[in-house]
Amino acid sequence: MIKINLLPLRASKKKETIRQQVSILVLSVIGVLVIGLSVYALLLNKINTTKAQIASSETELQSLKAKIGAIDNIKKLQEDVKKKLDVLNKLRREKSGPASRLAALSDAVPEKLWLTRYAESGGNVSVSGVAVNEELIALFMRNLQASGAFANVDLQVSEQTDLSGMKAKRFDLVFQIKEQAP
């Protein structure tokens, strides 16, 4: 028997395979585009998150720098206040120093001994005066040494003088001021 094929079978199969290949190509391209766009969106999201973290870190860094600057200013002010307090304490000590030294000197002077001159330069003091006899001068020197305010009491000159018709001893003393503890 003879068969006659009226349908073009090969052409239809060929068209069917081309259609399948085109649809696979289109689906593959769409799949690659979807995957590529997904990766792009994911990376873009990570980039934006990282940029936001960097911006917040920079903001925090600026605020910390401001705090550090404030702390440095506070430390400088604290040092200035400490220096001023040291100066005030020194002034207070030196303010009471001469008064306490003169009080110690006054307490050391025995009766019948008179001071005629007091000179202070740095830590050295020179005193001149008149006494009735040498024993009073020696007592005065012992009293100065024992007062605790003076050290290295040394007699420079002791000579007899005539004071209103009365014989007296003129003297010059040199001694040092002891540093007082703060």
Q: What is the spatial distance between Cα 182 and Cα 40, in angstroms, rounded to a whole number?
A: 76
Query: Is residue 1 included in any domain, yes or no?
Result: no
- At 161 the pLDDT is 87
Same domain, 147 and 171: yes
Greater model confidence, 155 or 101:
155
**Are residues 90 and 32 both part of a single domain?**
yes
Planar angle of CA 55, 59, 60, nearest 5 degrees: 115
The whole-angstrom distance between residue 116's C-alpha and the CA centroid of its chain comes to: 50
**pLDDT average, residue stretch 12-25:** 89
Look at the pTM and tell me if it is higher than 0.75: no
Q: What is the number of other CB atoms lying within 10 angstroms of the CB of residue 51?
A: 10
Q: What is the DSSP string of 56-91?
A: HHHHHHHHHHHHHHHHHHHHHHHHHHHHHHHHHHHH
Count of Cβ atoms closer than 10 Å to residue 143 Cβ? 18
Same domain for 103 and 159, yes or no, is no
Same domain, 17 and 83: yes
pLDDT tens digits, residue range 20-46? Answer: 999 999 999 999 999 999 999 999 999
Q: Which of 138, 130, 128 lies closest to 167 in space, CA to CA?
A: 130
Do 129 and 115 form a contact (C-beta atoms < 8 A)? Answer: yes
Cβ(151)–Cβ(176) under 8 Å?
Answer: yes
Question: Has residue 96 been placed in a domain?
Answer: yes
Tokens of 47: 């980039």
| The last residue of a domain, from among 76, 108, 140 | 108
Contact 139, 153 (CB under 8 A): no
pLDDT at 8: 63
* Average pLDDT over every residue of 83-111: 81
| Residue 6, pLDDT above cutoff 90 | no
CA distance 16 to 6: 18
Residue 45 lies inside a defined structural domain of this protein: yes
Residue 95 lies in a domain: yes
Q: pLDDT (tens digit, 9 = 90+) per residue, 116-174?
A: 999 888 788 899 999 999 999 999 999 988 888 888 888 888 898 887 888 899 999 99
